[in-house]
Chains A and B, each alone.
Chain A
Amino acid sequence: EAGVAQSPRYKIIEKRQSVAFWCNPISGHATLYWYQQILGQGPKLLIQFQNNGVVDDSQLPKDRFSAERLKGVDSTLKIQPAKLEDSAVYLCASSLVASFSYEQYFGPGTRLTVT
């Protein structure tokens, strides 16, 4: 079974530029999550999708971050414009059940460096 796919793996941009990350979850997993992991910290949830609907985006900085999952499968996370503090690893995860009580399966992440 293929795991969660993410691209690109690495991205370097200058502040005020825009960037987009892509995620393809495990086949059949209706729930998709985006996390931000700053160096030395644990992942922090940004947004949760159930199929193509947003379940929770309370921790997403909506003035600069946006995410979509148009067909209920793959998803895109965008940052526009980027700030220095956005430097982090962005992790995508998926799960079969829409509950945090179940395990999530993570992709390898995209490491973003904003200069």
Chain B
Amino acid sequence: AQKVTQAQTEISVVEKEDVTLDCVYETRDTTYYLFWYKQPPSGELVFLIRRNSFDEQNEISGRYSWNFQKSTSSFNFTITASQVVDSAVYFCALSAGAEGKLVFGAGTILRVKS
């Protein structure tokens, strides 16, 4: 069975601070995909990144970066120099195996204060 754990329920930071959101996943499949989605107050989930299990390279996109480590089954997300507009709920998700359904973590609420 697939499982995603986001241990941080809520994080509050002051603008311009760096913040890391943790994601730990469980799967027995060797082929799987990991995702991060952002859910702003408007409600829709916004796709941020997809990673497959064979690509452990870290990725940077502007202020966002992702650290994928198979050895610890983690796919952490860092926002550098956070801004108020980054305030949202962030979800990590996993798709694996023949079923392949997208399994979401419980989400981390990020509050960035000015």
Binding site for B on A (CB under 8 A): 3-4, 40-45, 56, 89, 91, 93, 99-109, 111
Contacts and interface: CB of A to CB of B under 8 A. Distances in A.
Interface in B24-38: 33, 35, 37
Looking at chain B's contact residues, the main secondary structure is strand
13 contacts: A41-B107, A42-B91, A42-B93, A45-B101, A45-B102, A100-B95, A100-B101, A100-B102, A101-B33, A101-B52, A104-B47, A108-B42, A108-B44
A101 B33 CA distance: 6
Interface residues of B, number: 23
A21 to B, nearest CB: 13
Looking at chain A's contact residues, the main secondary structure is loop
Interface of B: 4, 33, 35, 37, 42-47, 50, 52, 91, 93, 95, 100-107
Nearest to B45: A106
